[in-house]
Amino acid sequence: MTRNALLNAWIDEIQTLCTPDDVIIWEGTQREYNDLANDCVTNGKAIRLNPNKRPNSLLFRSHPSDVARVEKRTFISTTLESDCGPTNNWVSPNELKPIMLNLFKNSMVGRTMYVIPFSMGPVGHKFSKLGVEITDSPYVVLNMHIMTRTGNQILDLVNSGSEFVKCLHSVGFPLKPGQIDPEWPCAPMEEKYISHFPEDNMIWSYGSGYGGNALLGKKCFALRIASNQARNEGWLAEHMLILKLTDPKGEVNYITGAFPSACGKTNLAMINPSLPGWKAETCGDDIAWMRVQDDGKLYAINPENGFFGVTSGTCEKSNPVALATVRHDTIFTNTALTDDQDVWWEDLTPEPPDHLIDWHGNEWNKGDNFRPDHPNARFTAPLTNCPILAKEYETPVPVSAILFGGRRPTTIPLIHQSLNFLHGIFVGSIMGSQITAATIDANIGKVRRDPFAMLPFIGYNIADYVNHWVDIYKQSTNALLPKIFFVNWFRRDENNKYIWPGFGENSRILKWILERTKDYANFKHTPIGLVPDIDRLDLSNLNITQKALDTLFEVDKKAWTKEIKLIEKYYDEIYQDTLPNVLKNQLQRLEERFDL
């Protein structure tokens, strides 16, 4: 046991409740990791990849029902429904706790219970927060080991009395005596619960082993619980990448970007700029914790220690940095397996291999009319695997620009700048994006509102969240705070093809953005904000037609009149009588600028 009485009492309580066969306190060493990885391979839970091609790497295949976050089974459990708000599923703790206690009862029979002390953020840093995850999933342990700082150093902090978030997880598949454990145990959909109790700083997750449902440091803690902590303590917990950019003169700037799940954060965080002389380095690819410091600037730090990235679409041309990052010491989930025991996913190579084992473990032959990998297949790799990891990845960095963005096939231009911080908050609040395979949903491809790319991650009432952004604004001034932009790499033409080449070419837009932060006269006014003066956009050596450019930067009054109607409807539905003043005022001004 540990030297912390509170922690010991909790471990005792969970052991008595879940009745695992044994309990292991995770010390966080590479040796433990290697041993557990070997166990997983021996027990048929994982496949060791070819050590010559992909050293120290594993492939896991999940149950076909357990492939992504489950928003319908994700709950914010607060005493008052109004503290949860209209965008989250609410159940009162009095109702939810007994249901879940019943599920957790004896849920770990036949399994080992792991206790993982972890830190979100660098160990001991004043911006960091501690957690302890109890889980019966070796897959979760291996992933948490990569995604967070784990082990004895953190246990020492917990033992010396630091607060921690209690994170309880079970795959929800107790084993009867003699019962064979499936490759990927989990519970049926209606028994899955991803529950957050912000009043207790506590997370209970039952029935899923996948990603954000189970690696509780990530979305559950670093966004949903942390957004509550951030509101109480005056900072921001956001679904954002953090990118360091050095221009050809050597000037350094930091940019954050909030795009919904599977909408390009990891790729922008690892951008390989096509513009000569520009250098990009990665600070974070999914989550940013941000605070206004004494100098009035907003500083961001990545609380994670690894990448849990989408494999689909990743290739030498689109993202060579990601490919280098996953060369070794990586866990793959739901990719296909090649004949020489390596991984393959859609677009990795222009032509697929002739033969693969698909993510179900079945034969796949070239020409088969189904995908061999899952669209939400992922890699888990340590930050330190990234060849362009910024040296300051463990220090808060001052943010010059915040990018919001999403997948919008129409209406939204490639880039526009908000008029000021409050207008930027409005722009964040009206974000829309096509639903992606990062969540289990029948409506993939349909545009939904995803304010601040945080729709599934705000751990409290969205009206309070928007007002909290205004409170952050009040901690400083427009002059010192980041400038706020909106990007859309995903505009499509009449043949449904992406118009903008994206990836490394996005550096052209980043250059324009940094010029804007320095007030260059490189823009045109439109009713929605500032768009590039095309003559001032660096399009050197880019093969793009005038027609494409016209579409990319058009602000079409007819389309926007329709959009504004939709925004009004959305505001009415979501906020009713709690619509924050900032949104009311900004919407009115937008209508005025369009002469509506």
Interacting residues toward Mn ion by CB under 5 A: 261, 286
Q: How far is the CB of 412 from ligand GTP (least distance, A)?
A: 14
User: Could you tell me the smallest distance in angstroms from the CB atom of residue 258 to ligand GTP?
Assistant: 9
Phi-psi region of 149 (alpha: psi -120 to 50; beta: other; left: phi over 0): beta
Site string for ligand SPV, 219-248 (x = CB under 6 A): x-----------------------------
259 binds, among Mn ion, ligand GTP, ligand SPV, none (CB under 5 to 8 A by kind): ligand GTP
Pick the binder of ligand GTP from 310, 499, 552, 582 (CB under 6 A): 310
Residue 361: how many CB atoms within 10 A of its CB?
Answer: 10
Among 118, 421, 489, 571, binds ligand GTP (CB under 6 A): 489
Residues contacting ligand SPV: total by CB under 6 A? 9
What distance in Å separates the CA atoms of residue 281 and residue 63, rounded to the nearest whole number?
Answer: 36
Task: Give, as ranges, the residues between 226 and 285 that touch ligand GTP (CB under 6 A).
Answer: 259, 261-267, 285
Pairing mode, strands 306-310 and 252-258: unpaired
Selected catalytic residue, list 18, 263, 283, 386: 263
Distance between CA atoms of residues 307 and 343, nearest Å: 17
Residue 111 binds what, of Mn ion, ligand SPV, ligand GTP, none (CB under 5 to 8 Å, by partner type)? none
Among 211-219, 228-236, 491-499, 578-586, the segment contacting ligand SPV (CB under 6 A): 211-219
Question: Is 447:408 a contact under the CB 8 Å cutoff?
Answer: yes
Site string for ligand GTP, 178-197 (x = CB under 6 A): --------------------
Residues 247-266 that bind ligand SPV (CB under 6 A): 261
In the bound state with ligand SPV, the residue whose beta carbon lies nearer, of 147 and 466, is 147
Residue linked to tokens 């957790």: 104
Q: Which residues partner with 470 through β-bridges?
A: none
Amino acid at 523: F
Choice between 209 and 284, CB closer to ligand GTP: 284
Number of residues forming the site for ligand GTP (CB under 6 A):
22
Closest CA to 7 of 20, 25, 21: 25
3-state class of 231 per DSSP?
helix
Task: Concatenate the DSSP letters of all residues of 508-551 into one string.
Answer: HHHHHHHHHHTT-S-EEEETTEEEE-GGGS--TT----HHHHHH
| Closest to 330 measured CA to CA, from 132, 37, 42 | 37
Q: Compute the C-alpha angle 60/62/63, nearest 5°.
A: 155
Residue 218's binding partner out of ligand GTP, ligand SPV, Mn ion, none, with CB under 5 to 8 Å set by partner kind: ligand SPV
Helix residue ranges per DSSP H, 287-329: 320-325
Catalogue the E-assigned strands of 177-246.
193-197, 202-206, 236-238, 241-246
Nearest to ligand SPV by Cβ — which residue? 212
Q: Which of 241, 438, 510, 537 binds ligand SPV (CB under 6 A)?
A: 438
CB of residue 375 vs ligand GTP: minimum separation in angstroms?
A: 8
The amino acid that residue 428 corresponds to is: G
How many other C-beta atoms are found inside a 10 Å radius of the C-beta of residue 7?
20
211 binding ligand SPV? (CB under 6 A)? yes
| Structure-block tokens of residue 386 | 């990234």
Tell me how far, at minimum, the Cβ of 266 lies from Mn ion, in Å.
8
What phi and psi values does residue 194 have, to the nearest 5 degrees?
Answer: -115, 95
Q: Figure out which of the listed residues 148, 461, 506, 586 binds ligand GTP, where binding follows CB under 6 A.
A: 506
Q: In whole angstroms, what is the distance from residue 402 CA to residue 435 CA?
A: 22
Of 170 and 551, nearer to ligand GTP (C-beta) is: 551
Q: Which of residues 312-341 bind ligand GTP (CB under 6 A)?
A: 312-314, 318
Give the separation between CA 449 and CA 51, rounded to whole angstroms.
44
Nearest-approach distance from CB 206 to ligand SPV, in angstroms: 16
Residues 400 and 557 sit within 8 Å (Cβ to Cβ): no
The smaller minimum CB distance to ligand SPV, of residues 213 and 228, is found at: 213
d(CA 401, CA 502): 19
Q: Examine residue 7 and tell whether it contacts ligand GTP (CB under 6 A).
A: no
Six-digit token string for 419: 């008029």
One of 225, 438, 481, 514 touching ligand GTP (CB under 6 A): 438
Catalytic: 386?
A: no
Whichever of 141 and 310 has its CB closer to ligand GTP, that residue is 310
Structural element, H or E, at residue 144: helix 138-147
If contact means CB under 5 to 8 A according to the sort of partner, which of Mn ion, ligand SPV, ligand GTP, none does residue 396 touch? none
User: Under the rule (CB under 6 A), what is the footprint of ligand GTP?
Assistant: 259, 261-267, 285-286, 309-310, 312-314, 318, 438, 489, 498, 502-503, 506
Q: Which residues are catalytic?
A: 263
User: Under the rule (CB under 6 A), what is the footprint of ligand SPV?
Assistant: 69, 211-212, 218-219, 261, 286, 308, 438
